[in-house]
Chain A
Amino acid sequence: SSELTQDPAVSVALGQTVRITCQGASLRQYFVSWYQQKPGQAPVLVIYGKNIRPSGIPDRFSGSSSGNTAALTITGAQAEDEAVYYCKSRDTADNSRLFGGGTRLTVL
């Protein structure tokens, strides 16, 4: 089966730009979706499809993809963006879905 690989932890200074990446063979064929999870809360969809933001998600969140790597970019990170971010896509082997391991974002 496929895997989606994320860096375990990333930090960013308040107001700066951070890029969170997700790598996997399936990303060459399928869209990725990104989720933000804060402690004790259910995940929230922040980006999906071809860089689509659901209603209510700030425009500082954006997504991109090239080859086997997808990225979630936060331009002007805020303290409230501190969370764990998960990518999700498909498994090329059996068409099931899978999550990346998650990236813990710290805003300094």
Chain B
Amino acid sequence: QVQLQESGPGLVKPSETLSLTCTVSGGSISSYYWTWIRQPPGKGLEWIGYIYFTGRTDYTPSLKSRVTMSLDPSKKEFSLTVSSVTAADTAMYYCARDIGDGALDIWGQGTMVTVS
């Protein structure tokens, strides 16, 4: 059974870079669109972007200038960096697997990141 686990610092200073990693266990990282989503406290879900197993990426326009995603097949990990963070980047960050047609069938438990 495929599982995802986010990891990274829970506190980031303003203007610095947020870095998170998602580890895939119980299955292959090949195929699929590996996705990041975030949710500010008390608010809705925001799609950040995905990295395909080939390395192709797509990011939401509002974050495109600050977001980078990468993938390491040998470690079965994919990563997210968000540069120049502000308090508005404070959120629960989830990684998820997109099986195609946008369906996110497996999610990590999420990791809370506070910018302060």
Contact = CB atoms under 8 A, between A and B. Distances in A.
Interface of A: 1, 30-33, 35, 37, 42-45, 48-49, 54, 86, 88-90, 94-102
Given A43-B45, A86-B45, A102-B45, A96 B104 contact: no
Main secondary structure of the interface of B (DSSP, over half): strand
Contacts of B27: none
A33 B103 contact: yes
Contacts of B103: 33, 45, 48-49
The 8 closest A-B pairs by CB, nearest first: A48-B103, A42-B107, A99-B45, A97-B47, A33-B103, A102-B44, A31-B101, A45-B105
Interface string B86-116: 0000000010000001111101111000000
Given A49-B101, A96-B60, 10 more contacts: A32-B102, A33-B101, A35-B45, A42-B108, A43-B107, A48-B102, A88-B45, A88-B102, A96-B58, A99-B45
Interface in B51-86: 58-61
A18 B63 CA distance: 35
A89 B59 CA distance: 14
Contact of A96 (B44, B61, B101, B108): B61
Contacts of B45: 35, 37, 43, 86, 88, 99, 102
A96 B49 contact: yes
A87 B8 CA distance: 28
Contact of B104 (A30, A31, A32, A35): A35
Contact of B105 (A31, A54, A97, A102): A54
Contacts of A99: 37, 44-47
Nearest to A94: B61
A96 B59 contact: yes
18 contacts: A1-B61, A30-B101, A30-B102, A32-B102, A33-B103, A42-B94, A45-B105, A48-B102, A88-B102, A89-B102, A96-B49, A96-B58, A96-B59, A98-B60, A99-B44, A99-B45, A99-B47, A102-B44
Interface string B22-40: 0000000000000101000
